[in-house]
Structures are given as structure tokens and as C-alpha cells.
Structure 1
Amino acid sequence: MKITAIKTFICHAYRTNWVFVKVYTNIDGLYGIGEATLEYKEHTVAQACHDLEGLLVGKDPHRIEEFWHLAYREGYWRGGAVLMSAISAIEMALWDIKGKDLGVPVYQLLGGKVREAIPCYANGWFAPAKTPDEFAEKAKQAIEIGFSALKWDPFGSSYLQISRKELNEALSCVEAVYDSVKHKADIIIEAHGRFDIPTAVRIGNALSQFDILWYEEPIPPQNLEGLAEVKSRVNVPVSAGERLYNRWDFKRLFELKAADFIQPDVSHAGGIMELKKIAAIAESFHIPFCPHNPSGPIANAATLQLAACVPNFYLLETMSSDVPWRSEISTENIQFEKGKMVIPDLPGLGIDINEKEIEKYPYKAQELRHYKGNLTDIRPENAKSYF
């Protein structure tokens, strides 16, 4: 069996554009699907996937580790979001091919299941809330669905520092959600790498009264030494890792004892096997593994395969709703029971894309919302559940 070509697809998804890759083989009907969704650099990462085609065509798709090593080595300027996202998408597509060819789900190729389902926490549940009361009501609705925790960023347009007024507004929102869900679910506070060290420490200690599950990315992601300092000075657990791109980035994080939970993304940190390696290192440090997972259906499918076979997998990030055409552009069929996603047993990743439907939703340029104060506009008015 040989690889013959790759093709990329970009699909508008309201807050971003999904980027899918399809790797073809010379066996009729046998191909693999991956996802490289990289917000606001969608065309760049799609081209990066095509740049790797020369390493693929004519090669055996079963030799996944060889592809990964060559793609990383031949990049020369190693690491970074674009190259690693392209490698990630193609790597998961190769696992999809391998599983389909052997007639087994990918998790069987990675050691087999350690669980049947994975507990989920919700992101996006708050849209389009603006006031503490609206957040509290949205939180109650999310808990009724079965989520075990809720995550959101309450910090508006703040960056590096935060005013007393803005901090009080953020804490009022946190308090309203905490009061509405306590004894039923945990809360997770996202900071999107916003703050300088003293501000992050001030906020982290203010959050301790709400017994939060974790405080996510309190400072910009490049400063792991600073993150370790924040972690040592606050009274709440700290998480990080969605903007680290391989095992070597995480090696530094572990050595510095900079986070209590880690959150690599299967679409950005090297793909399925690279995340399994990162999870194994985390396991040796007794750190829970909670991958970043806010993207499209293929990334979710790949993350579920990981969840099946990683012992220290703790919580799965899950978007509580999505654009209505998510169910049209793929064959995704999520079983969500008692707050958990059931691990599917279909061969490969267990999912495919619908090219004709994707064509109906062409690329639309989007802008980063994180520091503009409109993060709650993360979903369109007609958003709906996809599970």
C-alpha cells in the first residue's frame, strides 16, 4: 500500500474555520481523515499540510513514526503552531488509515481501552450571556445536560492588568455561577494567557474562595518559569499546555513543576501518538491529562481514541453546542450519557467528512475575540447540540 495524494478542506464554523486533511492511498476507498484547525491561520496551515506531501507520496501509510520523525526533522525550523498542526492532522489521518486497514479502532493499536467513556466539562455553554444572572441561568441549563464542570473566561477585554472595577465584575460573575452549580459541578476559570505575574497572582488568590477546579493559562504561554512562579504563589490549581507543541515543550513544563493539569491539543501538539507520549510523561509526574478540545468533529474523534487508552486521562473539554451544519459536514455520531462521551468502536477514527456539504460553508475570515470583550459571542443564535 502506498500514499498517493493529500487534499485539504476549509469549512466555516462561525468563530473559526475548521481545517480537514484527507490522505489517499492506492487501495480503492481507503483513505484517512485528520484535522488541523488553527484559528486565524487556516490557509497557512492548509498549505503547510501540502508542503508535507513530498514526504508522503509513494510511502507506506503504516509507517507513522517514520513520517513523524522525518516531517519534524526536515522542517529544520522545528516546532511552532503551523508545522506541528500540519504534522498532527496528517498523523491522525495515517492512524485512521491503519485502523481501517486492520479493521480496528485506533485505540486498539495504542494498547486497548482502560475505560468505556470519559467525563466531560463544557465550554461555550454561556453564549450569549452578559450579566452574572444570565451566566447563572446558562450554568443551570448546562448542568442539567450532565456536564461535570463548566469553563469560561470572565475577564472581558483585560490584558496584562485588570482594573478594580473589571476584577469585581469578573468575580461577581464567578460567584453567580458558583452559587448556581455548587454541590453539582465544578467551575474552571480560563484566562487565555492574559495577565502579567502580579495580576495573575492577585486574581488566582481572589478565586480561591470559589474552590475552582483549575485556573487556566493565567499568563502568556511562552514563560513557563513565570507560570511556575504563579503556581507557587496562588491557592488554586493551575492548568496549561494548549499552546505547547510537542513533548520537548512539555518536558520543560514538567521539570519546572509549572502546572497541576496539562492540556495539549491533538491538532497542534503532534497528533495522537505524540499526545500519548506526553500523557505518559505526565503520568510519571502524577499529573492529570485534560486535552484542549474546542475544535471540530475530527479532532474530537481523535481525542476520544486517546481518552480510551490513556490511564491518567481526567476530563475532556467539550463544546456544549456548535453550528447546526456540524452534523451535515461529517458522520459524527456522539453518544453522550450521564455527562460522559462514550468511546466509539468503529474502525480507525470512526468518522468521515462530507465534501459536498463542506463546499456549502466556505472560508470566512474571523478575528480573535479574546481581548475585545465579546467572548460570549462564541456561538451563533442557531447553535445546537451535536450529541
Structure 2
Amino acid sequence: MKIVSLKPFIADCFRTNWVFLRVETDDGLIGWGEASLEYREKTVAEAMLEIGRNLIGRRANDIEAIWQDVNREVYFRGGPVYMSALGALEMALWDIKGKALGVPVYELLGGKVRDSIQCYANAWFAGAKEPEEFATKAKAAIEAGYKGLKWDPFGSAYLDIAPQEFVKAEACVAAVAEVVSGRAELLIEGHGRFNVPTAVRAGDMLSAYNVGWFEEPLPPGNLDALADVRRRTKVPIAAGERLYSRWDYVPFFSSRCADFAQPDVTHVGGISELRRISDMAEAQFLPCCPHNPCGPVANAATLHAAAATLNIRRLETMATDVPWRAEIAREDTDFVDGCLTIPQSPGLGVDIDLEALEKHPYQPHELRHYIGTLTDIRPDDAGFIFKK
């Protein structure tokens, strides 16, 4: 079973673009991977072609050997572009192997330790701007079955935050906290926006609302500064989505900068690397809660990693998405009691409809995090993907 082609596909999904990789073998099996690197989609698609040049004719079963060879032969290794391309390739090869053997991928990882994984909702807040709008959206998400809600209430702030923005951010947190109290966990996203004193001040404010964590309070790049924020605040800190391998996670754990590790299955190079990082976290008695805001293939890959990895404790889930997600992807998972079930189909349990995908070609999108349009992430007709 040899690799005969690798082809990237890019599809618009309103806020960004999904980037999928289709790998085909000489016996006609197709594997799908995902490398959705937000706002740099064409860059990562080209990287997939670069790493694929030397893979034609390789045995598709040799997943670990291919991973190690690609990682070695990208001389300036690491970083989000090549690791995302490698992650998509690794997912696709697991998908092929599972299909060839007629089993779900988790069976190839040692079997499952759970039938479903607890989820928290992202993107439940689409379109909200004012505290009462966030409260209304939060109520709808709770009624849809979610038991954890995450969002960034800090508007367009970067490094510092103006007094009026800070007051509004707290009002939004208070409004949502009242809705979810006793019904769901409240998680606050920072998107790496603050300097140390502002992050500490924000953390102190959040401590009054019993939040589960404050995510990425600082820009990436200085783990000692993040550790300083963790020491000085009462709220737990979550971070790690902008680290790209187990080697990046060595100083993350040694600096004791966070309470939750958040590797992304795509950006760290695939399913096996996500599991390795989760094992590293387990040795520190820290839960692994994967970053998972992208598309259907990455979601399926993360579910299989969670199925076989006890220390993956909680999973990010895009609660709402574009209506055409269901047209493009068949996803073998259900939403039950606040959890996503583990796919049972051979391979990853997700199939992509190329005809539907090609109806939504690449559209350039810009980062919204610091320009005041952060919640404008869905079209008006978007709805819940998974609900009870």
C-alpha cells in the first residue's frame, strides 16, 4: 500500500479557511488530514506540497518512519507551518491505515479508555456585542446541552486595556456568569493580548466569577513571564496552543507557567505528538485540554487521541459553524450529555465531499482579535453543529 498522491484543498468557512490534505494509495484508499492554519492557509498548503515531494512511493503504513523523516528533513524544523503540514499528513496516514484494517484509529493507538469526551463550547457567542446579548447567547448554548462556555470578553484591547473596555469586559463576564452559574463551567480566553500587569489585573477581576481558567493572558514567547502571572493571580492559567512540538513543551512544563496544557493536534504535528505531550503533562499531574477550534478532520483526529489517552480531560468544540460544514463533511460523532462520542467508523470517521467543498473556494480573511470584530465569526444563518 504505497502513497501515489498528496493534494491540499482549501475551503472558505467564513471566519477563516479550512485546509485539508487528501492522500491516496495505489490500492485506491483515501486518507484525509487537516492543517487549518488560520489566516496563512495558502502558506501551509504549499508546505504540504513541499513535504510531499519525497513521499510518493513510500509505504503508507510506515507512519512513524515517515513522521520522523519529514521532521528531520525540514532542516529549519518546527514552527506552525511545517508542523501543521506534518500533522495533516500524519492524520491522513492514520485514516488510511484504519480504513485498510477496517477499524477506528483509536484501536491502532492501544484501544479506548472512554466512549466520549467532555466538551466545552467555543463560537456560541457569534454576533454578541453587549452584556445582555452574551447572556442570551449563553442561555441558548446551555439549552443546546453545553456544560462549559469559553470566550474572549476583552474587545480590541492589546497589551493595555482602557478603563471603559475593562468595565464592559467585566459586565459581559458577570452577565454570562449569572446564566451559567451551577449549570456550566465558565472559561475565559485572552488570545495572548495583555502585558503582565494588565493580565494580573484581569485575572484578579475574573477570580470573583469562579472561572475555570484564564487562557493565554500573555502573548506567546516568554514562559517565565507567564509563570509570573500564574504566581500572582488566583485563577488557573491555560496555555500552549502556540507551541508546536514536544520539544517546545519541555520548557513549558519546567517553568510551571500553566495549570492546563492546550496542544493542538494539527499544529503539534498530529495524533501521536498530541498523545506524547499529554503524557508529558500527566507526569506533571497537569490535565491536557486540546485546542480544537478548526474543522471536521482535526476534530475527528482529536477525538481519537482523546479516546486512547486518559490525560486528555476536556475538549474544545466549535458549537456553531457555517451551514455548509454538514455538506462538506460527514462526521461520525454525536453530542450526548455535554460530550462528543468517539467515532466508530474505520479510520478517522470523517469523509469530505469534494464537490461540496469546491463550492466554497478560498477567501482571504484577516485576524479579528484586536480590531473589535472578534465575535463576528459566523454568518447569520449559522447554527449549532452538535446539540442534544
What is the TM-score when the length of structure 2 is the normalising length? 0.98
Match of 1:119? 118
Match of 1:26? 26
Deviation at 1:333, TM superposition (A): 3.7
The answer to whether the Cα contact below 8 Å between 1:334 and 1:386 also exists between their aligned partners in 2 is no
Cα deviation digits, residues 292-311 of structure 1 (max 9, x gap): 11111101110110110111
The answer to whether the Cα contact below 8 Å between 1:88 and 1:267 also exists between their aligned partners in 2 is yes
Aligned counterparts of 1:31 and 1:381: Cα–Cα separation in 2: 34
Residues 336-351 of structure 1: matches in 2 within 5 Å? 336-351=335-350
Deviation at 1:225, TM superposition (A): 1.1
Cα deviation digits, residues 20-62 of structure 1 (max 9, x gap): 001111012x121000001111111001000011231111111
SS in 2 for 1:94: helix
Match of 2:127? 128
Cα deviation digits, residues 77-110 of structure 1 (max 9, x gap): 1111100000000010011111111111111111
Cα deviation digits, residues 352-377 of structure 1 (max 9, x gap): 11111111000000010000111111
Gaps of 5+ in 2: none
Match of 2:15? 15
Aligned counterparts of 2:371 and 2:189: Cα–Cα separation in 1: 15
Cα deviation digits, residues 305-328 of structure 1 (max 9, x gap): 011011111111111111000011
Match of 1:60? 59
Match of 1:105? 104
- The answer on 1:369 being equivalent to 2:362 is no
Residues 23-102 of structure 1: matches in 2 within 5 Å? 23-28=23-28, 30-102=29-101
Residues 168-179 of structure 1: matches in 2 within 5 Å? 168-179=167-178
Deviation at 1:171, TM superposition (A): 0.6
Aligned counterparts of 1:223 and 1:194: Cα–Cα separation in 2: 13
Alignment RMSD: 0.8
Deviation at 1:184, TM superposition (A): 0.6
Which residue identity is paired with 2:50? D
Residues 266-345 of structure 1: matches in 2 within 5 Å? 266-345=265-344
Which residue identity is paired with 1:27? D
- The answer on 1:223 being equivalent to 2:214 is no
SS in 2 for 1:73: helix
The answer to whether the Cα contact below 8 Å between 1:55 and 1:67 also exists between their aligned partners in 2 is no
Match of 2:239? 240
Divergent runs of 4+, >3 A: none
SS in 1 for 2:375: helix
Aligned counterparts of 2:348 and 2:324: Cα–Cα separation in 1: 20
The answer to whether the Cα contact below 8 Å between 1:68 and 1:91 also exists between their aligned partners in 2 is yes
The answer to whether the Cα contact below 8 Å between 2:332 and 2:349 also exists between their aligned partners in 1 is no
Gaps of 5+ in 1: none
SS in 1 for 2:383: coil
Which residue identity is paired with 1:18? W
Which residue identity is paired with 2:360? Y
Aligned counterparts of 1:208 and 1:218: Cα–Cα separation in 2: 14
Q: How many residues align?
A: 386
What is the TM-score when the length of structure 1 is the normalising length? 0.98
